[in-house]
Amino acid sequence: MTTHPSPTRTSSPPGDAVVEITDLRKSFGSVEVLTNITTAISQGEVVCVIGPSGSGKSTLLRCINLLEQPTGGTVLVDGIDVTDPDCDIDRVRSRMGMVFQQFNLFSHLTVLDNCTVAQQVVHRRDKSQAEQVARSNLEKVGLADRADAFPAQLSGGQQQRVAIARALSMEPDLMLFDEPTSALDPELVGDVLAVMRRLASEGMTMIVVTHEMAFAREVADRVIFMDGGVIVEEGHPDRVIGDPQHHRTRTFLKRVLDPTHVDPDADVEPGDDRRAQIKEAELSARGEPRVSSDMRDQRF
Ligand SMILES: Nc1ncnc2c1ncn2[C@@H]1O[C@H](COP(=O)(O)OP(=O)(O)OP(=O)(O)O)[C@@H](O)[C@H]1O
Ligand SMILES: [Mg+2]
């Protein structure tokens, strides 16, 4: 068997913070959508981020890899401040895998090529090294036999598993997932969650924005509940999901777990936002694709 050289990695020792976020703020125009977010993610930790639509979950992930430029505060990844203008963000990004709700595969490339392009460009691996890494990750996600297929020939769940294999092929220290199963038909969700569960058990550091409460409860070391751009509470999933301390967390969980629930403490009739949240919770509870605020904002 041929071997390929290990890429240079500077992983932190177990327990060290891979991500340290301090007083992170983000505004779009005059609207502040993240307010003083402070938290840290340790090596090997699996953190699930939950919260209503528009609470800032995606923006938080996007500030970690600088797809959004924070308005204030600092984000350290492996000790490197990504908000520093002198930071080599491409180098930092090469240590993070990001998996989105939409799979963002190149439709004109085969599954194998989708998983090798970035390795060749960023890690400067030659084609055969890159293919070897890609094939082993395709095997890991159960798609070794689909290497020569094009994305359009695969189901949504298979495409999402290719997106995970592509991210893993960069051999990241950290994986960021933004609602990776929200766009999938219910019967395809399980295979993707199984791959993520396996990654978690292998010690991958993961931040997962999700509405899959059962997954969060089973796999997360910690759950962060966000609402209105702040962390309302965080802690062990048995506490945050099983015994939430804050009214806002309880209201959100009731909505997700019982979509028809109407908060008796609400002093106003449900408005458009409230109805949209109820609708969204209904879809989520049925496992149907949700309309994220990202998608809602796209007007053509
Ligand atoms: N590029 C942008 N320009 C202006 N406003 C934005 C932009 N991106 C996000 N927002 C706003 O920031 C807020 C937080 O959005 P974000 O996408 O982070 O929420 P979310 O919790 O991920 O929601 P969802 O569950 O629907 O995906 C929302 O009010 C959203 O409309
Ligand atoms: Mg989002």
Task: Say what the pTM is.
Answer: 0.84
165 close to 141: Cβ distance less than 8 angstroms: yes
Asked if the model's pLDDT at residue 165 lies above 50, the reply is yes
Q: Which residues line ligand 1 (CB under 6 A)?
A: 28, 33, 51, 53-59, 292-294, 297
- Per residue in 60-108, pLDDT (tens digit) is 999 999 999 999 999 999 999 999 999 999 889 989 999 999 989 999 9
- Tell me, in angstroms, the distance from the centre of ligand 2 to residue 182's CA: 10
Over residues 204-227, mean pLDDT: 96
Percent of the chain whose pLDDT exceeds 90: 76
Report the percent of the chain where pLDDT is more than 70.
81
The residue contributing the CA closest to ligand 1 atom 16 is 56
- CA dihedral for 228, 234, 240, 244, sign (positive or negative): negative
Q: Calculate mean pLDDT across residues 126-141.
A: 96
pLDDT tens-place string over residues 32-73: 999 999 999 999 999 999 999 999 999 999 999 999 999 999
**Candidates 60, 63, 273, 293: which one to mutate for ligand 1, based on the most atoms within 8 Å of Cβ?**
293
Ligand lying nearest the CA atom of residue 292: 1
Which residue, 93, 45, 84, is CA-closest to 65? 93
Q: What is the pLDDT of residue 16?
A: 84
- 280 pLDDT higher than 60: no
For residue 1, the Cα-to-chain-centroid distance in whole angstroms is: 34
Q: Is 31 helix (H, G, I), strand (E, B) or coil?
A: strand
Rounded to whole angstroms, the Cα distance separating 133 from 169 reads 6
Contact 226, 60 (CB under 8 A): yes
Residue indicated by tokens 């933004």: 178
Q: What digits encode the pLDDT tens for the residues 230-242?
A: 999 999 999 999 9
How many A from CA of 34 to the centre of ligand 1?
10
- For residue 264, the model assigns a pLDDT of 58
Q: How far is the CA of 239 from the centre of ligand 2 (A)?
A: 24
Please give the pLDDT value at position 14: 52
Among residues 178, 175, 182, 170, the alpha carbon closest in space to that of 114 is found at 170
Closest atom of ligand 1 to 60 CA is: 18
The beta strand positions in 43-187, using DSSP E, are 46-50, 72-77, 80-81, 96-99, 174-178
pLDDT for residue 216 is more than 90? yes
pLDDT of residue 5: 38
